[in-house]
Structure 1
Amino acid sequence: MKNAKVLGALILSLVVVSVVLDFCQEYVFSRLVKSVIAPAFLLLYWLTVTPKNKYFTWFLILFSIPEITSFTELFIETNADMYLYYTFGNILYILAYIVLFYGVCRDLNFSKILKSYKPHLIVLILLNLYIMYVLLTIVQPKFPELHMLLIEVIYNIVMLLLLTASLLLYFSKDNKKALFLFFGSLCIVFSEVLQIAYFYISERDGFNIVSIILFSMAFCFYYFYAKTKNEDTFKLLVE
């Protein structure tokens, strides 16, 4: 309990400091502080949650590696090194999302979903296709190299698949655990969309600040997801 409070206070401090630094246009330091948030949640999860879900654990580990090594970008001087850094980091992010997506799919009853939620599934597929089209329209002019564009597309597809699987899990389970997972996935998708808006549309500080907050909320919800038991129903949350 004491460890949870200390680490929780540390994470909150990291979020506040990152937002303040970004607001003060100290973007490099803001990014460095933000890079510690996901690893801090990994430490919080490791010390306070038992039993541990192996898929969620690997998600946090794989996601934390490129986050905590993001400072190396400051020392990159050549385009070749930048391509290598971009490729390595995003492959780890993609693997992280795939691992969590696979873990979520293991809890899904696909026969029940196809029987009871077929209209929802069709709407979700169409919505995902539209979102991917919009994102591709935004990022394609910025990525003349085919392999970088391909990585960006795969990254967004996997992220949206995780969001879709999380929502379907909530539909079928209707409990707090699934709800926290969906909220976490929703926050991380919106965080990424705002990052894209910041980098490729308009470098407004508001986009980046809200993105940092949503990113932190995503991992907060993911932590609650990992900590909550399956038998806790949504009705208990309401009550």
Structure 2
Amino acid sequence: MEYFLLALVSSNALVIYLFVVKQKAFFFTLFIALFAIADCSEFLYDFFPSEISYYLFGNSLFILAYNALLIEVCKDMSLAVVIKKFKYHILVLFLLTIYGVASLDEVIGEDEGLFFYFELLYNTSALVLLFASLIAYFYHENKKSFFLFIGILFLIIQEIVAIGFLFVSETIWLNVIWILVTTVAFYFLISQARISYRPKDFIF
């Protein structure tokens, strides 16, 4: 049931985005489309020859979606300016990424083989996206980048809640939080997509 509701949230977000947002960014469109397809792939489980092929297919789409959104986050920033202004921020966030990935892998419990490396890639992609969106907010300091960061923050929170639900305890309240946080994430992500970049446009 939880997968049906998650697929409903992401697919509705895609439809709303396509109809509401007039100026669509290619990589953001790619992100939201891949994310919705990955969520809906749950309904194709019986068509996969094995559980591992289903796992690789769905999670590959999520990784591609996160990397598409990462490109969208970074495309309007100058690498030279980022390194010059935020080198200490990047160092701290790099260390936090390592710690976060290690912590998530410990909760998941995969310590060898294909699943371990795939989860490592998945978790790294998610946390790099989060910290890149924070740097992007520091860089632009406007409403669009703020909404983008908040949307991605909730997107990563729903990943953490999902790990808790799938690997720790399948309780109903975690399921509800998972769906609500995902809904909030897409609200902010679609809201930012409707805003054009305006340098130093204050967040309120």
TM-score tier (shorter): over 0.9
CA distance in 1 between partners of 2:58 and 2:108 (Å): 18
For the pair shown, the structure with the greater C-alpha radius of gyration is: 1
What pairs up with 1:16-27 in 2 under 5 angstroms? none
CA distance in 1 between partners of 2:38 and 2:90 (Å): 32
What's the counterpart of residue 66 of structure 1? 38
Task: Give the letter aligned to residue 86 of structure 2.
Answer: Y
CA distance in 1 between partners of 2:77 and 2:116 (Å): 31
CA distance in 2 between partners of 1:152 and 1:214 (Å): 21
CA distance in 2 between partners of 1:84 and 1:200 (Å): 20
Distance 1:203 1:218, change over 3 A: same
| CA deviations over 1:9-57 (Å, ceiling 9, x no partner) | xxxxxxxxxxxxxxxxxxx3x3212212111111111111121100001
- Give the CA RMSD over aligned residues: 1.8
Distance 1:115 1:214, change over 3 A: same
How many residues are treated as equivalent by the alignment? 204
Report deviation, 1:207: 2.0
Report deviation, 1:105: 1.6
Report if the CA contact (8 A) 2:3-2:39 is conserved: no
Residue 83 (structure 2) pairs with residue 114 (structure 1): yes
Report deviation, 1:120: 1.3
Task: Give the letter aligned to residue 54 of structure 1.
Answer: F
CA distance in 2 between partners of 1:102 and 1:51 (Å): 17
Report if the CA contact (8 A) 1:177-1:232 is conserved: no
What's the counterpart of residue 3 of structure 1? none
What's the counterpart of residue 98 of structure 1? 67
Report deviation, 1:144: 6.5
| CA deviations over 1:106-152 (Å, ceiling 9, x no partner) | 11222222211222111111111111111111113xx4661122211
CA distance in 2 between partners of 1:114 and 1:87 (Å): 35
Report deviation, 1:233: 4.8
Unmatched segments (≥5 aa) in structure 2: none
What's the counterpart of residue 95 of structure 2? 126
Residue 50 (structure 2) pairs with residue 50 (structure 1): no
Report if the CA contact (8 A) 1:56-1:100 is conserved: yes
TM-score (norm 2): 0.92
Report if the CA contact (8 A) 2:10-2:35 is conserved: yes
> Does 53-62 or 64-73 show the bigger shift?
64-73
Q: Secondary structure at the match of 1:203?
A: coil
CA distance in 2 between partners of 1:45 and 1:207 (Å): 27
CA distance in 2 between partners of 1:36 and 1:198 (Å): 19
Report deviation, 1:204: 2.6
TM-score (norm 1): 0.80
Q: Following TM superposition, where does structure 1 have runs of at least 4 consecutive aligned residues deviating by more than 4 angstroms? A: none
Percentage of matched positions with identical amino acids: 31
